[in-house]
Chains A and B, each alone.
Chain A
Amino acid sequence: MYRYDEFDAAFVQERTAQFSDQVARRLTGDLNEDQFRPLRLMNGLYLQLHAYMLRIAVPYGTMNARQMRMLAHIARTYDRGYGHFTTRQNIQFNWPKLRDVPRILADLASVEMHSIQTSGNCIRNITTDQFAGAAADEIIDPRPVAEILRQWSSLHPEFSYLPRKFKIAMTGATADRAAIRFHDIGLQATTSKLGEIGWQVWVGGGLGRTPMIGKMISGFVPHEHLLAYLESILRVYNRYGRRDNKFKARIKILVHEEGLDSIRQQVEEEFAHLKGGVLTLPQEELDRITRYFAQPDYELVNQTTVDVAREKIVNPPYGRWLERNLNAHRQPGYVSVTISLKPVGGAPGDATDTQMDAIADLAERYSANELRVSHEQNIVLPHVKVTDLPAVYAALVDQGLADGNAGQITDIICCPGLDFCALANARSIPLAQELTRKFQSPERQAEIGDLKIKISGCINACGHHHVGHIGILGVEKKGTELYQITVGGDATENAAIGDILGHGFVADAVPDAIERLVDTYIARRTSADEPFITAYRRLGKEPFKEALYGNA
């Protein structure tokens, strides 16, 4: 993976020093809160319901063991012994003190990490496929380009005060595991007619108050011009994106109001000026960065498959884990392992300091010192030998991290909600916990199969509820917390926004309502092989609406 050179190290150090100075000025009052806010936000520091929250970037979700140990150290030393992995492939700490933040940032810098641009109206941390560089279905490993984009977007002087935050997601695989159609810009690796690999560019996707599916603005941009093309989009957005209304400030609104063709024309005009200029990416540079992401030294192993069926009989929990939590690897004899942060009754995405240390050990010993954070709020060991799986599993069991539920109904994505977030309308974590308890039986989960539930505590949609097969949104009506249920969302290449089927439910009624949806699906599916989302597309809203509200 990428390693800082002197330049990167100096950059992060200077930035840390700068923010320390800003914190000092805030503490003396030279900066008022209005002036401090955008600065702290650009360093990932939020003011939440109870305390500051620090969000740390995990660039494109990639980490090594040393970095994970540092996160454990921070959780232990400055927080309450845990951290929360988010849908942005980041980690958040919920209880840091302002005066400690410079020290935390210095600690992070020592392991080549930072919190730059994890918030604020700037280009945010770039996200990608959690199996990047390992997945069997990959056209190219997107991480070298993601790293280049990280550098290009870091403290970009022109784009640090955009109308609104700006999120870029990319995937190098054919299956979209990075939800690129729901980002301000989505990049999909593709091959041109001439066989050259480049990028399909999608623009104007997003969730939140006005969910929209991104539209393709360019079918092919070669690597060398990608930065110029992105700078063109950003410039058009910076100049013409709406600033009069915070809720209409994302690029999706600009694209929607002006029309894709008009935006494309403006971008092309800008691109005509910038193309071939200083932003042209030299092949040597791409090669140089790519070398950082060289494949690990794989061993040639005899055993390349596991007999999951047999293991399910011998040791059912292990068998289920094998069945759910492995992803096909490009190298025979290897797999990517998903470590579920969704134990029954737990807060989705949370990990304790001890768990983080243990995960770091596993990465070091079994996964070429690499880790990933997935936007589904799990951790991935990308390169695990099939023969090491029993050992890995045993270690996970010790840490309470061995749930074999990846992609199942209890693998819930969930935002922090009213327990932490100042913007929330409703609790989300307790609801997720309740649902995992309700559906905890492994047999029941297996029967249901692939089903993604996503919960947001408010319309900002940090929990991606719009793209959950079943989405749950906290709303507030006359002082009571209600939950709006949507069905049929999909974050993948078959992008869809979930349908609202009717009125909201009080918290207590939600688990039963979900159960009715599930039962309807099971009753109506063609076979156990037809997943929930496919059945929903085939059957349409009606049966599910009836399940929720009866046919009154």
Chain B
Amino acid sequence: MLDLALSPIRQHKPDKLRQLGIMSLNGMFDEMDGAGVLRQAVTELLPGDIAIVSSFGADSVVLLHMVAEVDRTLPVYFLETGKHFPETLAYVETLKRHLGLANVIALHPDPSDVARFDAGGDLWETDPDSCCHIRKTEPLDARVSGLGGWVTGRKRFQTAERGVLPHFELTADDRIKVNPLAYFSDADITAYKLKYGLPEHPLYSKGYKSIGCAPCTSVVAEGEDPRAGRWRGLNKKECGIHFDFNGAIAKPMAAQELNLFKDGKFIADPFRPWVEGDDPAAARYTHIPLPVFLDNRDAVLANPHPLGLLVSPGDKVELARGDLDRFVSIAINFPAFTDGRGYSSARLLVERYGYKGELRAVGDVLHDQISHMRRCGITAFVVRHEPTKKALIEGKLATVDIFYQPVGLTEIPLGTRPFLRRRAVENA
């Protein structure tokens, strides 16, 4: 087996020719020839230098079947988070047997991390991002981050943003993503399973459509279409999405100080600040400044990754009004708390342009402005000021909870009495 630890550290050097070379591969395969794509990747493109990661979830069997067709001895990584359903663990064994997979490698979290951060085993509940981080990101990263590429199970029909998913992609840091199932629809998956008589995940028949760790899947499975809501709740409800191991090896979580206050508690922020020079076409988990977005609109719209939008004072939100759905989060920047332009921006986004994603305040976010921000539709707060954090944690925000003026979407409807007035809705 390849010694991963010795893999060369890659240079971050996007190379135009290489990019063209990769892109040209995209025309070579029949849309449905996933196995052909996979074979090309593991034998020609990156022999010994590519990772296949599988969640052994409801749809994983299709890709794994292709792996078996190409080479049963290829390493397949499975994230043994310690939080899986017993059914999933049983399914791993079933598939190994059924497909003859000879090299399934379970990646376990570092026991000292678990002892340190999740001694009680309930971190997923309070801080799923960190839970995913120690149970998925870290173990996987340690093994595969030095590799030249990885194979994903992404399908272009999964979400609107993936409408342009190709077979081969080159990432900003010069690695290759391979998407053998790029052209598969859900119906194709079902047909494929049927055609080859592949065993289903035991929970699939019980109504689970998207299966990850046990504690988090139950939440996800309740919705009618789990993927439709995948990026919606972002930080809490949909575990594992930052680490989309069907997709990218994402590393959304920077140094984990819990600065994002949302849904009544501080959680790790999957977003990192936009840095001058970031590539709008490839950036992920960052808030693209509105002017940058406007200048690179096509690239951003084609960018398949979760992205946010940064609205600073002076920015005209109306210029992006048709594209707001593209962003899972919009950050309203308050460079100084005395600059109140963000309140108008927030109200326009929510009340006039119907933005429904996460709306967060960033910058000089302080105790005494938070209730105003909430009323203007802001739901999340990136807080650095310690006394403010403390007040939020302790639920001791000094606020006036009855209002004189109809502001925001939850305020009293027209014509009802008393005019102008309402009490605050419970705002976590």
Contact = CB atoms under 8 A, between A and B. Distances in A.
A499 to B, nearest CB: 36
B337 A10 contact: no
B29 interface: no
Interface in B11-65: none
B403 interface: yes
A25 B387 contact: yes
Interface stretch (A15-23, A179-187, A325-333): A15-23
Interface string A264-290: 000000000100011111101100000
B339 interface: yes
A238 B368 contact: no
A334 to B, nearest CB: 33
A39 B403 CA distance: 18
A281 B400 contact: no
Contacts of B340: 121, 158-162, 238
A447 interface: no
A161 B414 contact: no
Contacts of B421: 7, 151
Interface stretch (A30-38, A51-59, A307-315): A30-38
Contact of B343 (A17, A157, A278): A157
A338 to B, nearest CB: 32
B343 A14 contact: no
Contacts of A280: 414
- Dominant secondary structure of chain A at its interface with chain B: helix
A10 B423 CA distance: 10
Contacts of B418: 7, 285
B338 A282 contact: no
B398 A17 contact: yes
Nearest to A39: B368
A158 B376 contact: yes
Contacts of A156: 404-405, 407
Interface in A137-196: 148, 151-162
B341 interface: yes
Contacts of B371: 157
Contacts of A278: 406, 411-414
Contact of B405 (A15, A152, A243): A152
A14 B400 contact: yes
B344 A161 contact: no
Interface in B390-417: 398-407, 411-415, 417
Among A11, A15, A39, A239: residue with most chain B CB under 10 A: A239
B373 to A, nearest CB: 8
Contacts of A148: 420
A35 B399 contact: no
Contacts of B415: 282
B400 A11 contact: yes
B395 to A, nearest CB: 13
A21 B366 CA distance: 14
B402 A10 contact: yes
Contact of B366 (A35, A153, A159): A35
Contacts of B367: 25, 31
A142 B366 CA distance: 38
B375 interface: yes
A153 B372 CA distance: 13
- Dominant secondary structure of chain B at its interface with chain A: loop
Interface residues of B, number: 41
Among B369, B376, B419, B421: residue with most chain A CB under 10 A: B419
A235 interface: yes
Interface in A1-51: 7, 10-11, 14-15, 17-18, 21-22, 25, 30-31, 35, 38-39
A105 to B, nearest CB: 13
Interface string B299-340: 000000000000001000000000000000000000001111
B400 A155 contact: yes
A235 B400 contact: no
Contacts of B360: none
A30 B339 contact: no
Contacts of A238: 340-341, 343-344
A392 B367 CA distance: 51
B404 A160 contact: no
B398 A239 contact: no
B166 to A, nearest CB: 41
Contacts of B372: 155, 157-158, 160
A342 to B, nearest CB: 36
Contact of B399 (A18, A161, A162, A273): A18
A11 B375 contact: no
B338 A21 contact: no
A175 to B, nearest CB: 31
Nearest to B420: A151
A282 B419 contact: yes
Given A10-B402, A121-B338, A161 B420 contact: no
A273 B376 CA distance: 17
Contact of B420 (A25, A31, A152, A159): A152
Contacts of B98: none
A151 B411 CA distance: 15
A246 to B, nearest CB: 11
B340 to A, nearest CB: 3
B135 interface: no
Nearest to A20: B398
B347 interface: yes
B352 interface: yes
B347 A158 contact: yes
Given A30-B387, A35-B366, A278-B413, A161 B339 contact: yes
A341 to B, nearest CB: 32
Nearest to A7: B421
Contacts of A151: 404-405, 420-421
A22 B368 contact: yes
Contacts of A282: 415, 419
Contacts of B352: 273
Contacts of A35: 337, 366, 368
Interface in B159-180: none
A243 B341 CA distance: 10
Interface in A220-270: 235, 238-239, 243
B402 A14 contact: yes
A274 to B, nearest CB: 9
Nearest to A37: B338
A31 B387 contact: yes
A161 B400 contact: no
Nearest to A12: B400
13 contacts: A25-B367, A148-B420, A151-B404, A151-B405, A154-B404, A158-B344, A159-B343, A238-B344, A239-B341, A239-B345, A278-B413, A279-B405, A285-B419
A-B pairs, 3 with minimum CB distance: A161-B340, A21-B398, A157-B372
Interface of A: 7, 10-11, 14-15, 17-18, 21-22, 25, 30-31, 35, 38-39, 121, 148, 151-162, 235, 238-239, 243, 273, 277-282, 284-285
Interface of B: 313, 337-341, 343-345, 347, 352, 366-369, 371-373, 375-376, 387, 398-407, 411-415, 417-421
Given A18-B400, A25-B367, A285-B418, 15 more contacts: A7-B418, A14-B399, A39-B368, A121-B338, A151-B404, A151-B420, A155-B400, A159-B343, A161-B337, A238-B340, A238-B341, A278-B413, A279-B405, A280-B414, A285-B420
